[in-house]
């Protein structure tokens, strides 16, 4: 998979998370505070304020940001501007973007499988 294709998938995941078509992997505790699963965590997650009574979704808000998604999949920050451009172009056309993603042999569901996450991380790091 090329970097361009990875960027496209990252954009697609971001738009779906923003539109609440998808949700980050995590759980609510008894006090309705949300915490990310291990599979969801990125390097930045720890530095985000702990969920509290007043801010139960502090980590969930972070887990829907492009910064988190790029960090989670180990995509270099220099790709940010390209991903933002794709997002701008396809903001209202997520189904179209999904068709393109399918065209490169990955379904959106694949993105959320731990195997695919490792695969994408590997590709992104150029190993």
Residues that bind Zn ion (CB under 5 A): 42, 44-45, 68
Nearer to Zn ion, 69 or 97 (CB): 69
Query: What is the closest distance, in whole angstroms, from the C-beta atom of residue 78 to Zn ion in the complex?
Result: 19
Nearer to Zn ion, 107 or 118 (CB): 118
**48, 59 Cβ separation under 8 angstroms:** yes
Nearer to Zn ion, 5 or 44 (CB): 44
Query: What is the closest distance, in whole angstroms, from the C-beta atom of residue 72 to Zn ion in the complex?
Result: 6
Tokens 């989670």 sit on residue: 72
Query: What is the closest distance, in whole angstroms, from the C-beta atom of residue 126 to Zn ion in the complex?
Result: 22
Residue 60: Cβ within 10 Å count: 20
Nearer to Zn ion, 8 or 42 (CB): 42
Residue 54: Cβ within 10 Å count: 6
Query: What is the closest distance, in whole angstroms, from the C-beta atom of residue 7 to Zn ion in the complex?
Result: 18
Rounded Cα distance, 91 and 89, in Å? 6
């Amino acid at each position: 998979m090329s970097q361009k294709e990875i960027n496209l998938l990252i954009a697609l995941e971001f738009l779906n998370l923003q539109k609440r078509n998808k949700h980050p992997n995590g759980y609510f505790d008894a006090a309705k505070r949300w915490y990310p699963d291990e599979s969801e965590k990125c390097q930045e997650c720890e530095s985000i304020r702990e969920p509290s009574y007043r801010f139960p979704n502090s980590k969930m808000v972070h887990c829907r940001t492009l910064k988190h998604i790029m960090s989670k999949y180990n995509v270099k920050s220099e790709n940010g501007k390209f991903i933002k451009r794709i997002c701008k172009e396809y903001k209202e056309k997520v189904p179209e973007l999904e068709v393109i993603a399918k065209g490169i042999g990955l379904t959106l569901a694949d993105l959320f499988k731990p195997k695919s996450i490792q695969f994408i991380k590997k590709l992104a790091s150029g190993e």
